[in-house]
Chains A and B, each alone.
Chain A
């Protein structure tokens, strides 16, 4: 029981870490088409070049943990989400290689990797949004099968797809505000305001649409007295959004990023509340999908030992490359 809860917690943690960390570096790719100057693009990429693969490792940790602790969910959801996942993977390939290839290409052919980075990031984010939307909508109370292989494509999941693209772009813009100066930073202040407005729109849309779509979600949020406690979450989100607008207006460099991250965390908590206790919505619960205790225990031991260590050196690596980036950085 406690083991299963611990694993649900670990996977949730890995997923939100991935969303936040890869969110801002995918966001940089999403913002690419709007920044034309090669010099600025160099800077944008340089702010994440030393850390991007570490960020993506959280995605692999999420999947590996799901695989180890809830194999039923892993083996059912992944075939059901076949196409969006495959497209996302292909997109991640194009953006990943762009980091190396772009700086090894000639100025003439550099546009290929600009495009590959921008399109790859955007499509990967959109694919993740499709998966999110499909998960929120759920498969009713039956296991997804062969027939549901196209269920990932619905108006709702397309909407969440766009929402994730906009959200990641906001993370990317506020990250760049923190890491750049002058002209590029000013552009990012402007972009962040527009993107934040977009995020507000999509948060409202999801909050209205998902309860209508799923009776389970409706019951979770609109049952008294739970409603009063749960209302804290949207209220808090509202406050954070207002502060974010305020700090963007004040041209504060750090707070917009912290607050944008907070918006993601709050929205993610909302998502977890909506999904609880299902691991395949709304058919299989965490308890029914879990691995035998021998596996949960064994992997948990490793997790408890290694997580603090890896967090420590990840923080260290971020600190080595902290500070403003003013020109295309790095060399070897």
Chain B
């Protein structure tokens, strides 16, 4: 592999979208969490829920800003770096993006202002509606973007005229074969990630012995939710696996490190795929495992990588390892959620110190797992930009290489700076913690003096 404009464009797109995805991943889950908390507050009038809302809204706002600015980049990069791809598929994917903007982005942006700044400008119920609309907006946004990405994996509903894709059936385009399981898989990933972030932060408060009422409520809620969500995620992951095996068998082969077409293929727990010798080194395998997982039959046939020429295979080691990272973290999370249930049974959920420490350290695992999942999906799609139809190299713009290199470096620096400050302010918000319950109880919505947020915080 040598460095050319295509590779740089891919690196830039991968970097910027990998950066971008961190924020929606947290915020889709967080928006759902906030909607639930605000609903509980309206129902029970318990000030704990209001304090939880106000505290996590701060983190939501911080994250949302990052998501917006890094998202705008994406809408341009497709054109600047992948012009020929857009020329071919613009009439398909462009419409999905237009729908995303119209139905999701405006909804989020329109009500975000009310959600953040409107506590004492609109009524309680109206405020709840605003939160709910923002939440719906984030979910609709995921709907369209997952549909567009899935179409690149399993294109459907089109015919090709003079090199350009013309849509015959929009239903088939939007609900392409890969879409529904992948959309749900992503939503679930977002919720699980959010659970472990809320759990990690709450566990830290528990260890620090502060804001206990709030931390306990949050920790107990999200650990309960995590049990259901991680288990559901394993089942959904299985659905996605079946779908991938059916429509992108080579991706499955790369995920499983399977070089030769085999009936009853073994599940490689660990190994190092070597594309020169077309074998796995140091492999540790469970017989027939891969066939069972991917086809639900012990003797199901899996297509091997060698069934196509080398230039039509994905980069095996990348797919292979990212897949293992994703699945490994997924099962660790499931195990933690199950253990939390056991602790709850024995009334030790808030006191088991090592488990609380573990929760603090596993806070970012959801993000890593999500990114690893994305790498599996996208590396597994290579060398195609539209699976089986258009190669990535054909889709890249012929921009002078030095310009792409410049912009790539620019983005690395800019994102590096912005992300560092994001973390600084995130930790600052977390250290400061939720407002004291006693104060927040009598300052509930109406009594709080207006305009306090906008001033710089003084120590």
Contact = CB atoms under 8 A, between A and B. Distances in A.
Interface of A: 38, 42, 45-46, 49-51, 53-54, 56-57, 59-61, 63-65, 67-69, 71-72, 74-79, 81-83, 85-87, 89-90, 92-94, 96-97, 99-107, 110, 145-146, 149, 291-292, 294-295, 298-299, 302-303, 306-307, 310, 313-314, 316-317, 320-321, 327-332
Contact of A327 (B122, B425, B451): B451
Given A68-B95, A75-B84, 16 more contacts: A50-B117, A61-B101, A63-B75, A67-B79, A78-B80, A79-B80, A82-B404, A90-B411, A92-B72, A94-B418, A103-B454, A106-B459, A146-B398, A295-B95, A310-B102, A330-B451
B389 interface: no
Given A49-B117, A54-B113, A291 B106 contact: no
30 contacts: A49-B117, A50-B117, A53-B109, A60-B101, A61-B98, A68-B94, A69-B94, A72-B90, A75-B83, A75-B86, A75-B397, A78-B76, A79-B83, A82-B403, A89-B76, A92-B69, A96-B68, A97-B418, A104-B425, A295-B94, A306-B102, A306-B103, A306-B106, A310-B110, A314-B110, A321-B121, A329-B117, A329-B450, A330-B451, A331-B450
B91 A295 contact: yes
Contacts of A81: 80
B103 A97 contact: no
Nearest to A110: B456
A93 B418 contact: yes
Contacts of A50: 112-114, 116-118
Contacts of A65: 94, 98
B101 A64 contact: yes
Contacts of B68: 53, 56, 96
A84 to B, nearest CB: 10
B246 interface: no
A60 B450 CA distance: 33
B36 interface: no
Query: At the interface, is chain B mostly helix, strand, loop or mixed?
Result: helix
Given A61-B102, A314-B110, A317-B114, A93 B70 contact: yes
B78 A67 contact: yes
B173 to A, nearest CB: 9
Contacts of B113: 49-51, 54, 317, 320-321
Contacts of B399: 79, 82, 146, 149
A320 B91 contact: no
B358 interface: no
Contact of A104 (B94, B170, B404, B428): B428
Given A53-B112, A86-B80, A64 B62 contact: no
A77 B93 CA distance: 18
B311 interface: no
B354 interface: no
B385 to A, nearest CB: 13
Given A68-B94, A299-B98, A320 B65 contact: no
B166 interface: yes
Contact of A331 (B72, B97, B117, B170): B117
A76 B398 CA distance: 10
A292 B116 contact: no
B87 A54 contact: no
A64 B397 contact: no
A79 B398 contact: yes
Contact of B76 (A51, A63, A329): A63
Contact of A57 (B61, B105, B455): B105
A83 B407 CA distance: 8
A313 B110 contact: yes
Nearest to A331: B453
6 pairs of A and B residues whose beta carbons are closest in the complex:
A71-B90, A331-B453, A68-B94, A50-B113, A78-B79, A328-B454
Given A79-B399, A329-B451, A71 B94 contact: yes
Contacts of B54: 332
Contacts of B309: none
Interface in B41-83: 54, 57-58, 61-62, 64-66, 68-73, 75-76, 78-81, 83
